[in-house]
Amino acid sequence: MESKNLENILESYFDRLWPLTRSLTGNANRETLSILSEIIPLNVHEVPSGTICYDWEIPSEWNPKEAWIKDENGNILVDFKKNNLHLLGYSTSYNGKLSFEELESHLYSLPEKPELIPYVTSYYSKRWGFCISHHQLKELKEHKGPFNVNIDAEHNIDGSLTYGDLLLEGTSSEEILFSTYICHPSMANDQISGMLVAAFLYQELSKIKDRHYSYRFIFVPETIGAIAYLKENGSILKERTRAGYIITCLGDKGKFSYKNTKQKDSLTNKVTLQVLKDNNIEFQEFPFVPLGSDERQYASPGFNLPVGSLMRTMYWHFEEYHTSADNKSFISFKHLRESIELYMKVIKTFEGNKKFINKFPYGEVQLGKRGLYPTLGRGNDKTQMVDAYIWILNYSDGKNDLLQIAELSNIPMNILIEASNILEKEGLINKIENF
């Protein structure tokens, strides 16, 4: 894949996904999944409103049509068609004439960031409202009103929640999970970046032949969607998931971050940290906390799935988070492409990590006679590949996988994987099938 080309493709998809008013439910979510299906052939599922999912219930389907505030002369002051953040998420319908005093408690703004429109929702408590910049709030206050207010937003109790998933099967039923969320309207980094990385990761991954792991891609509205997914698929996930990631916040220009899984010694953590080390990537490390994104659900005590999150700047840690400033200018398609590439390195490390048994465990194997060792003894001038042979042979006693050998030897995984392939071809080591 040519880099520039991929960046252009990413941008074109971004531009199509940007304007849709995604939420927990609704047609914008269906359209989003339909667009993404051009990249990844998702299975799209509908969960009817009212369905009980553990402690939760699927809410009514929400499809906002119009939302504006006009002055007495009919001049439009606020219109969610201009910026879909203007409408409070899951707002109820409303129509009426109000003074500023009456309107004020329905307005949400950020006094400390007066230029920006906040992203606010009220999913499970019935409210109507508008999100506007604090500058605009002051203008409305000066204006005093009265204002004509109109919100036409359907809440359909016969609707459904929509999600997509896909299982890319490998030779093993062991799964690696990638989950991203689809419930934010126009948010570039904290939403669209994740959907695009997940979708294109599938595309890259599907080119790899002889995959060991099966890969599960999940596109759900945050929280309720993940809970609905677990309700339908949780027991399979619990049985098969060896590692997993929440894919989000991957387009900004900041350095990488890694939020660890709940289990400190998980394969997810080991592989991710090794890839970051091997590639000399400066990053910020975060411990697991049961707050954040859908790792909250996957790592709930009934499932305890080892789900981490490899991001660029983590949600909460960038100023633009959940405001109108998290837009196209905040991200770059070069950074988005590099995020996909880094996740591919993670996947290659999962695929290449194996555990072997040295078939000649007594004394050293004579590598020289197999052409794998310099025939001239000149002190200590071996290549890293020769070191890799020796480390693998010495530590392949059934206890250590390549990741553990990488940690001990400081030899990068890609060298160890290549060396193990050669040693296996030479008949010197045997792969342990299930470890």
> From the list 32, 49, 109, 121, which residue makes contact with its own copies (rule: CB under 8 A)?
121
Total residues at interface with its own copies (CB under 8 A): 65
Shorter beta-carbon distance to its own copies: residue 69 or 393 = 393
Q: How far is CA 113 from the centre of its chain?
A: 27
Q: Which of positions 335-354 make contact with its own copies (CB under 8 A)?
A: none
Asked if 335 contacts 288 with a C-beta cutoff of 8 angstroms, the reply is no
What is the DSSP secondary structure assignment for residue 96, as one 8-state letter?
E
The answer to whether residue 380 forms part of the interface with its own copies (CB under 8 A) is yes
Would residue 210 be called left, alpha or beta, if left means φ above 0 and alpha means ψ between -120 and 50 degrees?
left
Query: 76 φ, ψ to 5°?
Result: -75, 125
Which residue type occupies 217? F
> From the list 109, 349, 409, 420, which residue makes contact with its own copies (rule: CB under 8 A)?
409
Q: Which of positions 47-86 make contact with its own copies (CB under 8 A)?
A: 53-56
The answer to whether residue 123 forms part of the interface with its own copies (CB under 8 A) is yes
The answer to whether residue 369 forms part of the interface with its own copies (CB under 8 A) is yes
| Residue 380 CB neighbour total at 10 angstroms | 4
> From the list 318, 321, 330, 333, which residue makes contact with its own copies (rule: CB under 8 A)?
321
Shorter beta-carbon distance to its own copies: residue 42 or 393 = 393
Shortest spacing between CB 90 and its own copies, in angstroms: 9
Which residue type occupies 70? K
The Cα 366–Cα 91 span in angstroms is 73
Shortest spacing between CB 123 and its own copies, in angstroms: 7
The Cα 251–Cα 269 span in angstroms is 22
The answer to whether residue 364 forms part of the interface with its own copies (CB under 8 A) is yes
* Bridge partners for 257 per DSSP: 284, 311
The Cα 297–Cα 295 span in angstroms is 5
Which residue type occupies 186? S
The answer to whether residue 146 forms part of the interface with its own copies (CB under 8 A) is no
The answer to whether residue 120 forms part of the interface with its own copies (CB under 8 A) is yes
> From the list 34, 124, 139, 152, which residue makes contact with its own copies (rule: CB under 8 A)?
124
Asked if 141 contacts 101 with a C-beta cutoff of 8 angstroms, the reply is no
Shorter beta-carbon distance to its own copies: residue 41 or 374 = 374
The Cα 184–Cα 21 span in angstroms is 7
The Cα 370–Cα 261 span in angstroms is 43
Only one of the segments 40-48, 166-174, 331-339, 361-369 lies at the binding site for its own copies (rule: CB under 8 A); that segment is 361-369
The answer to whether residue 111 forms part of the interface with its own copies (CB under 8 A) is no
The answer to whether residue 322 forms part of the interface with its own copies (CB under 8 A) is yes
Only one of the segments 77-85, 98-106, 250-258, 293-301 lies at the binding site for its own copies (rule: CB under 8 A); that segment is 293-301
Q: What is the DSSP string of 76-129?
A: EEEETTT-GGGBPBTPPPEEEEE-HHHHHTTEE--TTSTTPPB--B-SSS----
Per CB under 8 A, residues contacting its own copies are 53-56, 89, 108, 118-125, 127, 223, 226-227, 230-231, 234, 262, 287, 289-291, 296-297, 299-304, 315-316, 321-322, 358, 360-366, 368-369, 375-380, 382, 387, 390-391, 393-397, 408-409
